[in-house]
Structure formats: structure tokens, C-alpha cells
Structure 1
Amino acid sequence: MNQVVASTTFAPNSYEHVGRRIQRMVSDPKVQKHQAVSITRRENEAPEAWERVLQELGETDGVTVEHLESDSVRIGWKRYLDC
């Protein structure tokens, strides 16, 4: 009798992928020094996922999301907001 075993690894959905990518960029020591980063949506990232992550970031106290050209944003926090 043949059995098929389902894989327990799942590919992250686009929302999770976008969130992790932004998190990695924000946690970079150089970015932490400036407390702001500009990010552009990648072609393989769903626009809905991109907007959802940006909306949630924008609703976070002390974080600002400034929309730039096309699918780019500047995310800033703390000192960047005080300037």
C-alpha cells in the first residue's frame, strides 16, 4: 500500500514575505543609525500584501510611512520623526 506524506513546510505567503523583508532591512545597523529606510515593492510581491504591511506599520505609534514615487516608501521612526 502506497502512502503519500504531506510536507509540513509551507512557503510564506506574500504578506509574510514582505513583512520579513522589511524587518530585515529595518534591523540593519546602518539603518538603525539613521532610523529611516526607503523601500520599493518588488514585482513578485502582491500589491495587496505590500499595502497591508504598510498600513499596519503606519498604524504603529512612533512610525511614519511616507509614500514616494511609484511603489516606494520611506519608513521612519523616533529621531527621523523629530527632525
Structure 2
Amino acid sequence: MTNAARQPSQYELLATRLQKIINAPAAQKSKTALLYKAPDESAEDWAQVLAEIGETDNVTIAYRDDGGVHLFWVVQQDD
């Protein structure tokens, strides 16, 4: 038995970082978030996370010339 908890993968750390940005009150209010890949994050993990975000309904991804990604989303109202 080990006392050490499993360390999160680099992918999990990236996903958690982006989730915090997207869930921030200002982003939720404006329904938009600007994301940038950190220099130490892998391009493969970055591409995978963006692909998964892009599969979400009502989310638009705009790739910026500066390498950033601008997310926009619409919250559907229940009738």
C-alpha cells in the first residue's frame, strides 16, 4: 500500500486549468473565454482538449492569430 496519491497527468492539469478559466464568474457572465496554451503544455494535449471542447453543443471556437483560442457559448433556456 502506498500513501502517495496518483499525480494528475499533464492532460488533466491542462484541462483543469482551462476549466477554471471557463468557469470564472466573468467568463460565465460574458459567455466567452480567451485561452492560451502555456509553453510547458504539450501541443497534443492542447489539441485534444480543444477537440473535446469543440464537441460540446452551443460552443464556438475561434482561433486567433496570436495563438490563442476564443471560446463563445450559448446557454439554452428551458421552456
TM-score (norm. length: structure 2): 0.83
* Counterpart check, 1:28 vs 2:24: yes
Report the equivalent of 2:6: 10
Which stretch of the first structure deviates more once superposed, 54-63 or 67-76?
67-76
Report the equivalent of 2:46: 50
1:50 CA drift (Å): 0.4
3-state SS of the aligned residue for 2:71?
strand
1:10 CA drift (Å): 2.3
Whose radius of gyration is greater, 1 or 2? Answer: 1
3-state SS of the aligned residue for 1:20?
helix
Query: C-alpha distance in 1, partners of 2:68/2:2?
Result: 38
1:6 CA drift (Å): 4.2
Q: Which runs of 5+ in 1 are unaligned?
A: none
1:9 CA drift (Å): 1.6
TM-score (norm. length: structure 1): 0.79
Report the equivalent of 2:33: 37
Report the equivalent of 1:76: 72
1:70 CA drift (Å): 4.2
Would you identify which runs of 4 or more consecutive aligned residues in structure 1 move more than 3 Å?
Answer: 5-8
Aligned residues: CA RMSD = 1.7
Once the two structures are superposed, residues 6-47 of structure 1 have per-residue CA deviations (whole angstroms, 9 ceiling, x without a partner) of 453222112111111111011111111110011110011111
Q: How many residues align?
A: 75
